[in-house]
Amino acid sequence: MGIWAGARFFWRPGVYLAGMAVSILALLLLRAAKERRVAGVMGVFFFLGALLAGNAAHPVLPQAGVYQVTGVATENASPRENGSVALYLDETAVGSDDFSYALGRVYWTYYPTEEDPFLPEEGDRVSFAGRLYAPNGQMNPYGFDFRMFLLEKGAVAGISGAQNPEIVDHPGRGLRSVSYRARQALVKRVRAVFGAGSALPEALLLGVKEQLPDEVSRGFANAGVAHLLAVSGLHVALFAGALMLPLRRLMGPRGRMAVLGAFLLAYCALLDFSAPVVRASLLLMLAQGQRIVRRAPDGVTGLAAAFLILLLFRPLSLFSASFQLSFCAVLGMAAFTPAIRWQLEKRGLRHWPVGLGRMIGANLGVTLPTAQIFHRFSLIGLAINPLACLMFSVLLPLYALTLALGSLYLPLGRALAVPINAVSSWIVGGVEALGALPFASLRVPFLPWYGVAAVVIALALASRYTVWPGRKKAAAAVLLLILSFGAWRLSLPRQVQYIQLAMGQADSALILDGRETIVIDAGDYGGDLADYLLSTGRRADHLFITHLHSDHCLGIRQLLDERIPIGQVYLPEGAEEQQIDGACLALIGEIAESGVPVKHLAAGDQFHTDRTSMEVTWPVGETVQPGQDANRYCLTMLWDLAGVRVLTTGDLTGAYELYAARDAEILKVPHHGSKTSTGADFLQAVTPDLALITGSGRENAALPNGDTIARLEERGIPWYDTGTWGALTVTVQDGRATLTPFVSRKEDR
């Protein structure tokens, strides 16, 4: 709770220091009262957590701007689909003629050019001129918190651009630089041995997933076995067990512990001290230490100690998905395995109840974080997890042995890799096929706090820590879950809402009318849109695409990947015949092939739901000419949301906006507030009371344009941009609209 308060709530170091002092004083004064000292201990840890997390979550940075940057690449640079490169730099320093500032780890993005396709490799020290910026936090409801994600990875800032990049002669000398170069050497050896089948062994042995196809990761996630692709406790236990087996005859417990500690430290460094690897390593070391002092190892106590140690050094790991899944899986094993083992033995399964019990216990443990993070509960995963873990337990040693033999004699390693690659391909294909089954997983909405509490209590009732009879446990758990589900249904919004999502320099909006969901555009990346629909248990009943430009429709890819049902797609008349993005056209084709109807709209067409109606104001069907800029014939719609009119305009250009103009209380400003749109005559025709702008919000951004803002302010029209305020939610009740920005600001217009 202290970590949550310091990182998420407010950062007041003076208050936290004073609270810690009071808690320590209470401990000293209550030495004789052991029961009352619990409050003092809790206070000390609460304020310690707040101080540690607050310090990590609020790094001191130089002013945003262009600096000379040096740092060590933590991975191989490779262009993404949009042509950009993104990677982390370590040992980073930024400076100018006046100063130099050490930042540690940063997130670097840039676009290589044809003249200079600069692509550094892992371990290279690079130097270039780039722009320093502070990353945005969460900008949309249920959306991705980019700032916290980077902080969890230890990255305190972002760097964009790469002017005059070069690789500096001397490499980094720190521990991480050495580990990066070691991992790079091992990656090259893996690729030499396994050839075209190296993607899976790279991921399983070294945690390198740059060659792993997205469809493989997606298939494992859909099948509920994505944890197998992350280096975690299974990997650490297998490697440590192989190491300890010969050492049992060579040295005593303390010697084995020293060798094990050195091996685990090196492996953690090789894997960049990822939370699952560090957690598993700490548990092994604690268990070994308990044996030395002749205490029976206790899973929950060891897990709690590892939890505390990790958070003392990396407090923001608490918000990491891998951290939560890793600890919950082990907690599930400790809490449920004995009861499951007893039930299995009771039913005659006496040969492998321990392993099966652990797998089931781990699945129960990760039920809640999996549902909250991925919004899915894998049904197929419950069935195949034990077998999948068994197969990967065999694959891992085979990969390691083949790599070792291939390092000694490459032809031998390559010969052994041929059948192993074939088996691996068969396993991966089987997992993907199972994950593609329609009943493989269930969609689960985001649970509010009372839903989380109900699930936690239900799982606690099922664990070995409650002694109620089985029927009472089951009845109490079912009653809790029914009550929490009923409370969630009652808490659903009853009013009509319009939500303009923050998508950077892209467009996407939602209209919610009861359970009916209308989507207007999907942005260039639809991750936050998909997260909103998944978190609220909604489908895209009606998907309106204003035109086929990438910043309005490429986000459909994420809706399809997440298997979000789409009821019907609407396009402007002649949309496919204009100057458009080929990838967008392919997505529409993919949707049509899946059986979703695609309808074309022109001025005069109408649409209705329960409390929402819409009339298309542009384009006029007979005026549409092929081969034009798609912005000219952008779908423009006048919405009536329970008595409040909203004019949505996409990227409509200034030359045509008067044809589409209609009187409305709320205007979604055309073309992100560009200079040539939203003219004075257009504003005179619409007479809006409020203007919403989709823009980046950065100081150096070209949009929204200052001239457009000036025209709005001259007419006294309040305006809000998504880049500054995040998602803009308009709630309509009793014919009146209320605007709620997602990001609060001290100053208000």
What pLDDT does 277 receive? 86
- What percent of the chain stands above pLDDT 70? 94
pLDDT at position 356 over 80: no
At 457-511, the pLDDT tens digits run 888 887 777 777 777 777 887 888 788 777 777 777 789 999 999 998 899 999 9
Structure tokens of 469?
A: 């009879």
**Parallel, antiparallel, or unpaired for β 516-522 and 508-513?**
antiparallel
Are 537 and 443 spatial neighbours (Cβ–Cβ below 8 Å)?
yes
Q: Which of 408-417, 694-703, 728-737 has the lowest mean pLDDT?
A: 694-703
175-194, pLDDT tens digit by residue? 666 777 788 889 899 999 99
Weakest mean pLDDT among 600-604, 645-649, 740-744:
740-744
Whole-angstrom distance, CA of residue 628 vs CA of residue 171: 52
Name the more confident of 320 and 702. Answer: 320
Residue type, 258: A
Exposed/middle/buried for residue 730 (C-beta within 10 Å: 0-12, 13-18, 19+): buried
With a cut of 60, say whether residue 352 has pLDDT above it.
no
Residue that is written with structure tokens 């329960």 in the block: 610
pLDDT band at 732 (very low <50, low <70, confident <90, very high): very high
Q: Is residue 699 pLDDT above 60, yes or no?
A: no
- The C-alpha atoms of residue 715 and residue 498 are separated, in whole angstroms, by 24
Q: What is the pLDDT of residue 749?
A: 39
| Integer Cα distance of 623 and 637 in angstroms | 17
Which pLDDT value is given to residue 138? 93
Question: Which of 16-30, 166-180, 521-535, 546-560 has the lowest average pLDDT?
Answer: 166-180
Of residues 618 and 285, the one with the higher pLDDT is: 618
Instruction: Read off the pLDDT of each residue in 94-103 and give the average, rounded to a whole number.
Output: 87
In this prediction, residues 346-365 reach a mean pLDDT of 68
How distant, in Å, are the alpha carbons of 364, 515, 658 from that of 648? 45, 21, 14
Hey, what are 440's tokens? 């493989």
Q: Which tokens go with 38?
A: 């619990």
SS3 for 691-715 is EEECCCCCCCCCCCCHHHHHHHHHC
Q: Is 671 exposed, middle or buried (0-12, 13-18, 19+ CB in 10 A)?
A: buried
Mean pLDDT of the chain: 87
